[in-house]
Chains A and B, each alone.
Chain A
Amino acid sequence: MASVHSPALRHHFDTVEQQKDASTLGMWIFLVTEIMFFGGAFAAYTVYRSLYPDAFAAASNELDIVLGAVNTAVLIVSSFTMVMAVYSAQTGRRKALAGYLLATMFFGLVFLVIKGFEWHHKWVEHHVPGPHFHFEGPYADKAQMFFSLYFAMTGLHALHMVIGLGILAVLVWMTLRGAFSREYYTPVDVSGLYWHFVDIIWIFLFPLLYLIGRHNHG
């Protein structure tokens, strides 16, 4: 560290590195609270799936596996463009940074549009829990529990995606204003952690919601 310190360094930190470590740690503490927040939903899912395994398998087969798999891939691509945004920031490439952030937003939007079509389809099929819910076969009530969890979990996930898109939009604006440099890009870094976290939630939602009991019905 040179004797003239970086303009990005706040005075209550000793070094830029210490400042960055503090931000990373703080973001992870927040993400741990998010793990526990989604954890409650995953616990509810685990309980009801263990109680009604056949109904969950039957209801899961009503979801569109192709759209689910494509959306998983779309999110993974968006996570890749996000790490490339962080890399561009680390190496001081402003144009590439803005480009990768916009690409991440684009794939995030593609995910939400596909999700919207899926939800609409469920609405048309009367698979939305409530007075108009309808499910063929012996599992009507228990299938409603599956779809309640499906809408709650994918809904909360989509809400996180919308918030992520807002954060990315702010990052693009900050990038264009020249707020980031090779020395200071912490907001890009910690926003990346958030985006990947939301990706990880979907990585669990996809097999748990879409893939159970596929082999029963082909």
Chain B
Amino acid sequence: MAEHEHVIKPKTYLLVFTALIALTIATTLVSYVDLGALSVAVALVIAVTTMLLVALFFMHVYYSRRLTQLVVAGGLLWLVILLLLTMTDIATRGWLGVPGK
């Protein structure tokens, strides 16, 4: 919690920056490896990690007030609902073999 203006040191930013570049290289290289169905999962885990680093440190969410953190988490939760509930429909349409489909 920022009790007062929280100035983050350039050193921290540089460290996060290095991690972001490393993750970009990692996701590019790993895409050439055949991981089967795991490929998507690995790519998304790397993308989410990259996103979290940007949001927490570059966008200062880590140092923000609880209310701001709650709004960010809420936004992401609604995005997950959008994607998941859409896919529950698309993925399960053929399961029961409804006639006339």
Contact = CB atoms under 8 A, between A and B. Distances in A.
B24 A218 contact: no
Contacts of B50: 200, 203
A91 B7 contact: yes
Interface string A18-34: 00010011001101100
B47 A203 contact: yes
A52 B45 CA distance: 22
Q: Is the interface of B mostly helix, strand, loop or mixed?
A: helix
B79 A28 contact: no
A200 B75 contact: no
Contacts of A31: 75
Interface in A83-105: 83-84, 87, 90-91
A215 B33 contact: yes
Query: How big is the A interface, by class?
Result: 35 or more
Contact of B47 (A28, A32, A65, A204): A204
Interface string A195-218: 011011001101110011011101
Q: Is the interface of A mostly helix, strand, loop or mixed?
A: helix
Interface in B1-53: 4-5, 7-8, 10, 13-14, 17, 20-21, 24-25, 27-28, 31-35, 39-40, 43-44, 46-47, 50-51
Interface string B49-87: 011001101110000110110011011101100110011
Query: How big is the B interface, by class?
Result: 35 or more
B96 interface: no
Given A43-B86, A87-B8, A207-B44, A25 B67 contact: yes
Interface of B: 4-5, 7-8, 10, 13-14, 17, 20-21, 24-25, 27-28, 31-35, 39-40, 43-44, 46-47, 50-51, 54-55, 57-59, 64-65, 67-68, 71-72, 74-76, 78-79, 82-83, 86-87, 90-91
Given A39-B83, A203-B54, 12 more contacts: A25-B68, A28-B71, A40-B82, A46-B86, A51-B90, A77-B17, A80-B14, A83-B8, A84-B10, A207-B44, A211-B27, A215-B31
